[in-house]
Structure 1
């Protein structure tokens, strides 16, 4: 993600900030141009610093889970990210607030990234082909699971509990399990429907790269859970679960593509450089470009690999798990390259 600054004092701001920690000006994110606006709290009118235009916060600012702003004359009460919510947790239960806030932080970061790619995100509440989110508690319903179906992304509230999420990660022997990872994976299923399924050329190319999705999905998952991933799965897949079916391979690869793009974008805005002492030249890199402006995916992956190795090494020095515990094989790079090429026509540079 890009770096944001206060429009009044230039102090750096996090994406989730509602106020500048230096000067006290209020802050709010405008998604139309991916910009953080700031506002003098002493002014009666909500006018952005350096502008002569009024704004209002998204209605969910009331619950301290959104800092996005809309034009003051906009008829909508919710921002473009919060308009995607179909079901939110029961707020009568106090413990649900923190879980919902964690879910929204991840979802808003996802929406930022998809907007930067240039992908449309119509709300399913307004359009049949659109997208929406159900953030729900399981409530002893064994059939209720995190997943995607026809544009509806369901995320169990328990995934926002870091303790329970870690227990699940260990039980399933997963190297990585996060809220942003879940959201990126599930939205991948939605965009398979939008970008692949309805377009014959893209569908044919998909089958060449990922395999034939007409393979029985239920049987494939049953086989995966009964027998696990095939031997040497690392040569062809980004994760064990990706080996279960071409649809899951696509969703897992899509999620990791988004991970990598976000990683390199953040490194670019911080001008990060990796130049280890006493190492081969191939481990040297400097994040000199915004990956969303690059046609050549090889440049992105060649920047990502040394960065992730350096970050993993720092984490290990602190005694915490790798930030990116995955090895990206040449065949997985080909799959990511397919996704990158597929998304190039949507790119809108802001």
Structure 2
């Protein structure tokens, strides 16, 4: 993710900030500008409307998202002319848990925060429209649901363009419990969103695109029975050689899951590379002279690096990331090592994303 600064005082702020701690300005992320802005109430005759700071930035006025004014659960702005009270990200959510029950508001807010980070990355990749009007493909729909005592458990997954997330995943203790029981080295809210969005974009980038044969040559034939494949995966012990061709053990269960896990890793890659580039990070690359350091390149823009360069920067960057975590007594933030087989699949994802982006530009 890029570095954001308060447009009033210039100090560093974050993507989810709602107020600058230095100057006290209210903040909002403006999707149609893909930028963070300090905001101030507009003139007295425009109740509920905000101007961007500094004032010469725009004559357009904005509203705060209804989920912010009602629940303090969103920092995206809504253009004055919009017919919706919700921002472009919040209106993608089509089902909510019962917010009157204890804990549900906080859990739902955490889900929305992770969803907004996914929204940002998809928009940067040209896969998600930021248009406040009727976009041709407004992106995934989301259902955030809770288990009922006597009902069937809510399963996190994707079907028909809707990504369902069980709100229990927003509870750190429950998520850790599932991570340990399922022998997963990595399980985060954002990871769930990135993985499930992979299923959504498989339908849009692979299915019916003419790329099915290329997909099957790398990932396998997705027409094999999905339910039986998952049953086999959970019934048998972990294969010792999955690392050679997959980004995770779960990816080996079925080609659809292989794609979704690879897709999630690609989103990890582009977001972390952009963050490192935004902080002007430089690294010593393997095989380079010890005195030579290379700046991490952002994966976006006219000077975006090749996939090979991205991978070249990725390996030492993840070592730096994990070393920083270990220095604070934390577990590795990125507990994976990518094999040549997994990298070939990541390149396939990269090329599909790039071709989609170029076709729309």
TM-score (norm. length: structure 2):
0.89
SS in 2 for 1:308: helix
1:127-156 Cα offsets, whole Å, 9 max, x none, are: 999621111111243452111111111101
1:230 CA drift (Å): 2.7
> Does residue 269 in structure 1 map to residue 256 in structure 2?
no
Q: Is the 8 A contact 1:229 1:244 kept in 2?
A: no
> Does residue 149 in structure 1 map to residue 159 in structure 2?
yes
Distance 2:138 2:85 in 1: 22
> Of residues 323, 326, 329 in structure 2, which corresponds to 1:313?
323
1:75-102 Cα offsets, whole Å, 9 max, x none, are: 1211111011011121112311211111
Q: Is the 8 A contact 1:87 1:133 kept in 2?
A: yes
Q: Is the 8 A contact 2:42 2:61 kept in 1?
A: no
> Of residues 61, 84, 96 in structure 2, which corresponds to 1:54?
61
Q: 1:191 to 1:59 in 2, by over 3 A?
A: same
More moved, 284-293 vs 85-94 = 284-293
1:286 CA drift (Å): 3.7
In structure 2, the residue matched to 1:205 is 214
More moved, 166-175 vs 134-143 = 134-143
Distance 1:131 1:331 in 2: 29
In structure 1, the residue matched to 2:184 is 174
Task: Structure 1: state its 5+ residue gaps.
Answer: none
Q: Residues 102-251 of structure 1 correspond to what in structure 2 (within 5 A)?
A: 102-120=110-128, 131-140=140-149, 141-199=151-209, 201-251=210-260
In structure 1, the residue matched to 2:19 is 19
Q: Is the 8 A contact 1:117 1:346 kept in 2?
A: no
1:121 CA drift (Å): 5.5
1:204 CA drift (Å): 1.3
Distance 1:282 1:156 in 2: 49
Distance 2:177 2:240 in 1: 26
> Of residues 305, 310, 315 in structure 2, which corresponds to 1:300?
310
Q: 1:285 to 1:196 in 2, by over 3 A?
A: farther
1:41 CA drift (Å): 5.1
Distance 1:128 1:31 in 2: 16
Pairs aligned (count):
346
Q: Is the 8 A contact 2:266 2:346 kept in 1?
A: yes
TM-score (norm. length: structure 1):
0.92
In structure 2, the residue matched to 1:95 is 103
The root-mean-square deviation of aligned C-alpha atoms, in Å, is 2.5
Task: Structure 2: state its 5+ residue gaps.
Answer: none
> Does residue 322 in structure 1 map to residue 329 in structure 2?
no
1:274 CA drift (Å): 2.8
Q: 1:143 to 1:94 in 2, by over 3 A?
A: closer
Distance 2:168 2:253 in 1: 24
Structure 1 runs of 4+ with >4 Å offset: 41-45, 125-130, 282-285
Q: 1:18 to 1:195 in 2, by over 3 A?
A: same
Q: Residues 63-82 of structure 1 correspond to what in structure 2 (within 5 A)?
A: 63-82=71-90
Distance 2:136 2:235 in 1: 39
Q: 1:136 to 1:265 in 2, by over 3 A?
A: same
